[in-house]
Amino acid sequence: MKIVVASDHGGFDLKESLRLYLKELGYEVLDLGCYDHNSVDYPDYGRLAGERVIEENCLGLVVCGTGIGISLAANKVKGVRAALCSEEYSATMARRHNNANILALGGRTTGVDLAKSILDAFLKADFEGGRHERRVNKIIDIEEGR
């Protein structure tokens, strides 16, 4: 499975740790940047990640200082459901009930070990469909202006 990863400078260190972790787990990782600590704008990377997740029909991971800004930007891309999670249960439920396709984390708010555990929970969960599909479709209707 392919995982798209992207961050701004505030999320760079955590993104790098998780990128390597994903590779160790055997995932194909597409790193869209940033590639160092130089200041960049999180909307650019949230958008890039969102567009590629939709194009590649895969999952994504975005990281900025808090995870808030980059998740807001990613969610502006049609079809993206990015979930900012700070613990494992929310990550699991984001996939199971909301069919989230991008996990957002805060590089300045989340330690590496916890981030790995949240990422594991996100990747291990699957969308349950059923009543949740009806609700996700309502989100899509809002996105479509219906």
Check 9, 34, 85, 97 and give the catalytic one.
97
The secondary element (H helix, E strand) that includes residue 137 is: helix 131-144
64 catalytic residue (yes or no) = yes
Give, in order, the Cα–Cα distances in Å from 132 to each of 50, 138, 139: 22, 10, 11
Residue type present at position 33: G
9 catalytic residue (yes or no) = no
Give, in order, the Cα–Cα distances in Å from 102 to each of 95, 97, 124, 139: 9, 14, 13, 15
Q: Whole-angstrom Cα distance, residue 61 to residue 25?
A: 15
Q: In this structure, are residues 32 and 48 in contact, taking their beta carbons and an 8 Å threshold?
A: yes
Check 9, 34, 64, 85 and give the catalytic one.
64
DSSP codes, 61-74? EEEESSSHHHHHHH
Residues that are catalytic: 64, 97
